[in-house]
Amino acid sequence: MVDVPVEQRPEELEEGLWTSFQQAGSDHEYYESWLALQAGYVRGAVCAQLMVHRGENRFAVVAKWPERQGLDERLEGLARKVIADQCGLLEETDEPGRYDLAYPLLIEDAVESVVTFEVVAGDERALQAVMEQLQWGVSWLEVLMRRHRWREDNLLLAKLQAGVDILAVTLNEESFLGAAMVLAAETAAAVDCERVSIGLLHGRRLKLHAVSHSSDVDQKMALTRLIEGAMEEAVFQQSEIRYPPPEESKEICREHEALSRQQAMAAVVTLPLMQHDMVLGAITCERGADRPFSQEDCEFLTGIAGLAGPALITQFQNDWPLPAKIGRAFADSLGMLLGASHLALKLVLLCVAGLVVALYSLTMEYRLAADTILEGAIQRSVVVPFDGYINEAPVRAGDLVHEGDLLCALDSRDLTLEKVAKFSQFRQSERQYQDAIAQHDRSRASILKAKLAQSQAEIDLLDAQLARTKLTAPFSGLVVTGDLSQRLGSAVEQGEVLFQVAPLNEYRVILKVDERRVSDVTVGQHGELVLSSLPNLVYPFTVTKLTPFTVAEEGRNYFRVEARLDEVDGRVRPGMEGVGKVSVDRRRAVSIWTRDFVEWIRLFTWKWMP
């Protein structure tokens, strides 16, 4: 059996343990005193150790009890399980009556520390008492860790407040030089520096612009060249450089060493000023050798550089003259195009360039499009031969008719009655003429003969009029206009157009060509027509005539161009509309697509040119 330490009750703990715990001057002393106290309160404690979170999922043993005991791998393994499960664990060892216990300290759902104990316990009640003691005891660790966090948060808040104040006074300046001088002075006061210098890159050379506690920067001074050299050293390495350097530093600091020697081994730190992931300048801080820059100082200066640096660089660029801004924008665009980054942008530009070259090299047939309407090659009008009334109208617009088919019949009753009256007069005159011949009255017979001729002429006229009461189709074709079905019995006047008939085997294509494109059309050119009612069929045509007058429609002027269909089928009808395209020649595709825009630019330029 392993020797068990003598049990102690809480009131029997040595007063020295509480005194050392209360007067702990460091975290290490605090942890050791706390663990010793816990070991005194836990009955049957054999050994114990405390692990604390050190960042990035790393835990380290900061205290153990007894102090001379080595690291117990079994207790450490149990602690790792507790960290993974985030809850207390109890495991029985190989020896009867001995147990391993571990309990975590959780702060905001994260394990901050784990305390592990090996104890000797006779029953479950004793183990429960040990676990309760650990639950109460870790609150002392929580107080310490929350105190550290509170200090860190206050320090961070103070740094942020100081950084924002410095940024505010920097932005309040209207010029770059004023802003740079204010930033240098405020930074020197905030970090207690003897000198703060600010410089920016001009091409590949860095130039010093502002120095705290100095209104003028002499570029010829040896100190100025040393400061610029230190800045260039940090800019080219794109990292913070501190002198004297920390033990883990790997940066080259030769220029910083030279500056430090010139200033009696002063402490120097340089931080790059960045904008859009590009180093465009640096800020260098100096102070006495007896006050080297700490890690907290460097973090504060990094915050200032991150806040005020981009604002200062933007103000510097805003002070450039316009030609310099244009040149800088062109250089940035060229750098994006030719540099190693922005691969997607380069691919897009390459595709656009390839498309432009392809479109410029591509040639295609230039076809002039125009709205089109079909008309019959011949359109015969059927008009009223004399005043009358409509008696019959068997056809209307859209009907197919054959030559001689009845289109309309006028009321012939009045003409028939008039013919009967004229025929009676003719008969009477004929009897009188026979009597005069029988009586050998030559003079009277001559007069009656003339009346007979007049009556016969009038009868022939009435017969002709009666024949013309029936209006028939002059040829086979389609009735284009005319619908008298609602006008039966109504009066019509002589010369009134009742119907228009067009043939079905000859058509005239009328293209409405824009006045800007009529110069492209010549007689004899070929084209194709697609009708709105027959979109799946293409009808070829040939241009036959260009009319010398324009038609105004929808605010545009159009020339009337006539063409002839090369092929006709029975589905085509006069009055159908569609789109016709006249083949002009072969041209570059880009010139066809941009022609309207180019011509508008030319006309606009000509209009406003003096």
- Count of helices and strands (H, E) across the chain: 14, 24
Token pair belonging to 192: 């207690």
Residue 76's identity, in one-letter code, is E
Beta bridge partners of 102: 89, 116
The average pLDDT across 67-80 equals: 72
pLDDT per residue over 11-37, tens digit each? Answer: 445 555 666 666 666 777 888 888 887
Instruction: Give me the helix-helix angle, 222-237 and 254-262, nearest 10°.
Output: 150
Nearest partner of 49 among 83, 16, 75, judged by Cα: 75
The pTM of this model reads: 0.44
Beta bridge partners of 388: 492
DSSP 204: T
Could you give the CA distance from residue 322 to residue 175 in angstroms, rounded to a whole number?
A: 16
Could you give the CA distance from residue 484 to residue 490 in angstroms, rounded to a whole number?
A: 9
* Residue 358 reports pLDDT greater than 50: yes
Provide CB contacts within 8 A for 390, sequence distance 6+.
408, 409, 410, 411, 484, 487, 488, 489, 490, 492
pLDDT per residue over 276-306, tens digit each? Answer: 778 888 899 998 888 888 888 888 888 888 8
pLDDT at position 340 is 64
pLDDT at position 5 is 43
Omega of the bond leading into 66 within 30 degrees of 0 (cis): yes
Could you give the CA distance from residue 191 to residue 291 in angstroms, rounded to a whole number?
A: 11
Could you give the CA distance from residue 450 to residue 438 in angstroms, rounded to a whole number?
A: 17
Cβ–Cβ under 8 Å, residues 540 and 566: yes
Cβ–Cβ under 8 Å, residues 402 and 520: no
DSSP 506: -
Domains of the chain from N-terminus onward: 10-151 (3.30.450.40), 173-319 (3.30.450.40), 380-499 (2.40.50.100), 506-608 (2.40.30.170)
Of all residues in the chain, what percent are helix, strand and coil, respectively (each to 5)?
Answer: 45, 30, 25
3-state SS record for 451-486 = HHHHHHHHHHHHHHHHHHCEEECCCCEEEEECECCC
Cβ–Cβ under 8 Å, residues 495 and 383: yes
pLDDT band at residue 133, thresholds of 50, 70 and 90?
confident
Cβ–Cβ under 8 Å, residues 481 and 383: no
If one compares 18 and 126, the residue with the highest pLDDT of the two is 126
If one compares 550 and 18, the residue with the highest pLDDT of the two is 550
